[in-house]
Structure 1
Amino acid sequence: MVELILGTEAAKKMKNVPLSNNVIGGRVEDMSCDILDQIVEEIQASPTRISLQLDESTDVSNLSQLIVYTRYIKDGEIKDEFLFCLALQTTTKAADVFRLLDEFFQKHQIKWDKVGSVCTDGAPAMLGNKSGFAALVKERVPDIIAKHCVLHRHALAVKTLPSHFKEVLSVCVKVVNYIRGRALNHRVFKLFCEEMGSEHQVLLFHTVVRWLSRGKMLARIAELADEIAIFLREYQSDFAENFEDEIFILSLSYLADIFGHLNDLNLSMQGMFANNIDCTEKVEAFKKKISLWKLQIQGGNVGSFPILDEKHGDKTIQPMLVENIVAHLSLLETTMAQYFPMDHSFPEWIQQPFLADMDDDDNLKEELIDLQVNQGCQTKFRTLPLSGFWCDQLVAYTGLAKAALEMIIPFPTTYLCEKAFSTMLQIKTTARNRLQIGLLHDMRVALANTKPRIEKLVAYKQQQKSH
């Protein structure tokens, strides 16, 4: 085609462009290795100890893959970076995870005392007190901080429901499966919603392992409750009577609202550069909101639950529904307190350096006094995020900034690992299920924030070619 359109000379140039699978795979590997070299150099140069988050999941070929991310200081900023994705060939015990990470550290000459914290999910293999991964790491680094992912704790805290609301949720799941899980019903319902002018025409599935699915599913059902009621009545379904029951509809509306609030909390704790201080503050605020909502519901005020408020209108809310809602909020308050006890590990001076005092360390206290009278620092504190402010003080107030960053750097969640598993599913498909070492390099090039030094790689290849 090139010869016909552009001529013979252009065709000869095209033949010089290597396009084989080995060449492309080799270039991906070269870029991946260059990225890793830069990351290891940055880890070694970090003025503070690094943080790790790790999680494992099974890929399309039923092979368990361990993904590890790291967080450290680079050029006065906190940097989140992909470290590796390696297969656990046999079992997925704590010893296997530790061995894989230890071998990686030895290969790249990273010392364990460079690690200040680890964040994992709550599996016994990860957080077991005697033989878990965290316990094995503490044998190497006794003062390391081991954290249970905030998002996993949040999912466990909101899992329990009183019997009444559990039954409502069960009916909703069955209705979704009845309509969405059957091709004909799904097509007819979609057409029916289009004819009625509904904003949405499709119900959403509920998946237990997905944190946000329950709230999204319930909100969509509450939105399409009238359409669902008509559809079920026409098909003479046993579930039709539920959607004609006022208590059921109001209970469904409350569940949609409360799980909407919980989803908002969950989303606010996700993302890069999230830290434990921010997540703790958001959870504590939510726990106080639960107490407020209980008082409001007991007083007949449903303003904090917009879907329930819309469905219930100006009518007086039934005592039985009030009792059920208060019971659920009380249960939620208990489980949130169980999974998120008050965290007093953050010194006040880290969040309020110009208002708080320090009692324990005289050397750091002198630095804090110097900082508090520095007008320029006060201006920066008002304009920079908390992590950015303390990174900015690493030169002028080194000891104080390092002590603060030791509390800010630890990962609060395994969000980045969870996000990386989605990328893994896109890269290692059923058509590419033999990817092993290649998966590591493809994942690193796809996920790393560090860019490969293309000029350096090209110069090296040219030098090799000339020899």
Structure 2
Amino acid sequence: MTEKKRKLDHRPFQDNWTIEYGFVEQKDRAVCAFCCESVVCRTSSVQRHFQTKHQSKFKTSEEKGEAIKKAISGFKKQTVILSQAVGMKSKATECSYKIAQCVALNGKPFTDGEYIKEAFLSGAEVLFRDLKNKDIILSRIREIPVSARSVERRISDLAENVTTKQTTGLKQSLVFSVALDESTDVNDASRLAVVARYLENNHIYEELCCLLPLHDTTKAEDIVCAFTGYFSKQDINLNKLFCVTTDGAAAMVGKKKGFVKLLENHVGRKLLSFHCIIHQEGLCAKTSSLDLVSVMKTVVEIINFLISRSSLVHRQFKSLLQEVECEYGDLLLYNNVRWLSRGKVLARFVCCLEAIKMFLDEKQKRFPQLNDESWLLKLMFMTDINTHLNELNLKLQGQGQTVLDLFSYWKAFTMKLDIFTRDINIKAFKYFPNVKNHANQFEVNTDELQEYVKALKAEFEKRSQDFYIHGSLFSYLIKPDMLDLTNAQLELFSWMDIDDFEMQQIEFRSSEIWTLKFAELRKSLEDENFEKSGAILNCWISLPSSFICLKKIAFALLSAFGSTYSCEQIFSHMKAVLSPRRSRLTPEHSENCVKLKVTKYVPDIEELAKTMQGQGSH
């Protein structure tokens, strides 16, 4: 009986029901144009409904025909009006998604949605004043739902959509690597930033996977638990993980119980790991003798007196700088955490040195070091060497750089230190302009300066052992035909099914076409403005599938991070979003805002709006 009834319910709609009984088809049902009731598509049901509810109203067949035509016409008009209303609601919803995206991209509070709408309406009143349909335009703007709650939900939907795309990309990718770092937000909550780099649709993506709160301690066990928990929740296979880059903290790189070691135990094999090269450069920059450390201490003491001790003193000092037409209008406060702070503080201090001396004399504030030739020499040297260190730091910064690029900058600077030592030894001071100006006025003793540069070079060589060990391996990206198989470290890639690597490598070396292609690649990379990682990737993608083992290794090497720059950038965005004025934001909301701010993916706003029931502004 049930199967028979189901078959009857799915009978096709018959056109004569419209003429004889005033019924129209709507979603596999027959709908009466007179009362809008629906019945199953069956002649007996349609006929029974019309005869019992509407037949008695008509005396003649002509009157019945006219009434049916009028009812059908009215029903169609009503349907059109309803569909237009639904369409307008859907557009208003889509617009609210766009506004929410702007709020997130600019790190603004959720309540700014109402402010944007108010500005929109105020501007529209003037902009569309001469249009006949101005009232329609304004009414549509008023329909946009942008309350704080609506904006919060929209941002959550957009972030979830981006997360879905990231997860799909990681699942489809052959290999991926991660960079992770831990910091503290404005609420003293520890947050773990995890950034992944992977290949999807012939593009390299560098995406924030998560910004996880660590509610208790931040030991290696806590970090690995949060890390593996996220990837398990997203059903991403950690066996495809190739390289892990951290800030080098003990909890991250401990030999027995560090995060990397525990993660290797979880994955079941050796992982390539790096200590962030920018952090290592910062540690090298702190290398100094006790005398040179005292120089920075005195500089900070003078700057604090001029800027922080008294507002009156600070105003008077700035007025003096303006009077003497100094290049800078003020000094900078020193921040030991910021990478470039030391070099910038010293450069500005030296530039304003004469004005500083004059002002301190007026205030009868004595700093005998400012008249000490030996101390001034150390000041000038510290300024010049930190200028060089800052130049290196800026080169190491930026997203999308390969380990090959970063290590090239590092090696180049290490070799420059030999030139600096020779320059100081012969007292030419070609690369130390401030020292040269000082030497033109006073006799200089360069022994301590040479010792400093030698100690700095030793520190650079000691702190980059992991890059020196694997440096030749990353040269494979642009010199695959020159790879030394005896030092290829193929055990790092054994899990990627590369059993035929040696055979394919021989075939590749024997192919003049492909070896020439990489020679052309190396030539194009000489252009500093060339997008290197993209060019390298495109070159490897162009190789035929017969070299699949070689391509797998190249894709793995391209995914590796050389620094945690992306994580540091994430924390900067987090502190802008989760500021003291917005400290009530939950970890989930702040993560959503930051994720939308940094992602390369474009959320499917139109599709999201279609899944929502259109509701106007209340």
Calculate the TM-score normalised by the size of structure 2. Answer: 0.70
Aligned to 2:585: 435
Aligned counterparts of 1:357 and 1:407: Cα–Cα separation in 2 = 14
State how 1:340-355 maps to structure 2 within 5 Å.
340-341=464-465, 343-345=468-470, 346-347=472-473, 350=476, 352-353=478-479
Q: Deviation per CA, 1:298-357: give whole Å up to 9, x if none.
A: 1112111122223333x57422xx011012112212211221237142237615537625
Aligned to 1:87: 213
For the Cα contact (< 8 Å) 1:300–1:316, is it kept in 2?
no
Aligned to 2:41: none
> Match for 1:366: what amino acid?
I
Of the three residues 509, 524, 531, the one matched with 1:383 is: 524
Partner SS for 1:147:
strand
State how 1:306-321 maps to structure 2 within 5 Å.
306-313=433-440, 317-319=443-445
The 1:362/1:10 distance shift into structure 2, 3 A limit, reads closer
The 1:273/1:317 distance shift into structure 2, 3 A limit, reads farther
Aligned to 1:221: 349
Q: What is the deviation of 1:378?
A: 4.2
> Match for 2:450: what amino acid?
V
Aligned to 2:51: none
Partner SS for 2:263:
helix
The 1:440/1:290 distance shift into structure 2, 3 A limit, reads same
Matched, 1:67 2:193: yes
> Match for 2:607: what amino acid?
K
> Match for 2:453: what amino acid?
L
State how 1:264-283 maps to structure 2 within 5 Å.
264-283=391-410
For the Cα contact (< 8 Å) 1:71–1:79, is it kept in 2?
yes
For the Cα contact (< 8 Å) 1:164–1:324, is it kept in 2?
no
The 1:44/1:312 distance shift into structure 2, 3 A limit, reads same
For the Cα contact (< 8 Å) 1:80–1:273, is it kept in 2?
yes
Aligned counterparts of 1:349 and 1:123: Cα–Cα separation in 2 = 28
Partner SS for 1:393:
helix
For the Cα contact (< 8 Å) 2:334–2:341, is it kept in 1?
yes
Aligned counterparts of 1:105 and 1:126: Cα–Cα separation in 2 = 18
Aligned to 2:359: 231
Aligned to 1:121: 247
Partner SS for 2:427:
coil
Aligned to 1:337: 461
Aligned to 2:265: 139
Of the three residues 210, 228, 234, the one matched with 1:102 is: 228
For the Cα contact (< 8 Å) 2:478–2:521, is it kept in 1?
no
Of the three residues 150, 164, 167, the one matched with 2:277 is: 150
Q: What is the deviation of 1:449?
A: 1.4
Partner SS for 1:449:
coil
For the Cα contact (< 8 Å) 2:481–2:509, is it kept in 1?
no
Matched, 1:255 2:382: yes
Which structure 1 segments of 5+ residues have no match?
A: none
For the Cα contact (< 8 Å) 2:398–2:565, is it kept in 1?
yes
Aligned counterparts of 1:72 and 1:185: Cα–Cα separation in 2 = 54
Q: What is the deviation of 1:297?
A: 0.9
The 1:14/1:300 distance shift into structure 2, 3 A limit, reads closer
Aligned to 1:58: 184
Bigger CA radius of gyration: 2
Which structure 2 segments of 5+ residues have no match?
A: 1-117, 487-500, 526-531
> Match for 2:191: what amino acid?
Q
Of the three residues 454, 458, 463, the one matched with 2:609 is: 458
Partner SS for 2:195:
strand
Aligned to 1:27: 154
Q: What is the deviation of 1:404?
A: 2.5
Of the three residues 421, 433, 438, the one matched with 1:294 is: 421
The 1:204/1:358 distance shift into structure 2, 3 A limit, reads same
Matched, 1:184 2:309: no
For the Cα contact (< 8 Å) 1:69–1:82, is it kept in 2?
yes
Aligned counterparts of 1:12 and 1:408: Cα–Cα separation in 2 = 52
> Match for 2:595: what amino acid?
R
Q: What is the deviation of 1:140?
A: 2.3
For the Cα contact (< 8 Å) 2:245–2:561, is it kept in 1?
yes
Aligned counterparts of 1:118 and 1:222: Cα–Cα separation in 2 = 41
Aligned counterparts of 2:450 and 2:429: Cα–Cα separation in 1 = 12
Identity of aligned residues (%): 27
Of the three residues 587, 596, 604, the one matched with 1:445 is: 596
Aligned counterparts of 2:518 and 2:296: Cα–Cα separation in 1 = 52
Calculate the TM-score normalised by the size of structure 1. Answer: 0.92
Partner SS for 2:468:
coil
For the Cα contact (< 8 Å) 1:129–1:135, is it kept in 2?
yes
Q: Deviation per CA, 1:95-142: give whole Å up to 9, x if none.
A: 111111111111111011121111111111111111111111111232
Partner SS for 1:138:
helix
Of the three residues 503, 512, 525, the one matched with 1:363 is: 503
The 1:406/1:96 distance shift into structure 2, 3 A limit, reads same
Count of residues in Structure 1 that have an aligned counterpart in Structure 2: 460
For the Cα contact (< 8 Å) 2:481–2:508, is it kept in 1?
no
Aligned counterparts of 1:318 and 1:9: Cα–Cα separation in 2 = 80
> Match for 1:382: what amino acid?
K
Aligned counterparts of 1:434 and 1:367: Cα–Cα separation in 2 = 61
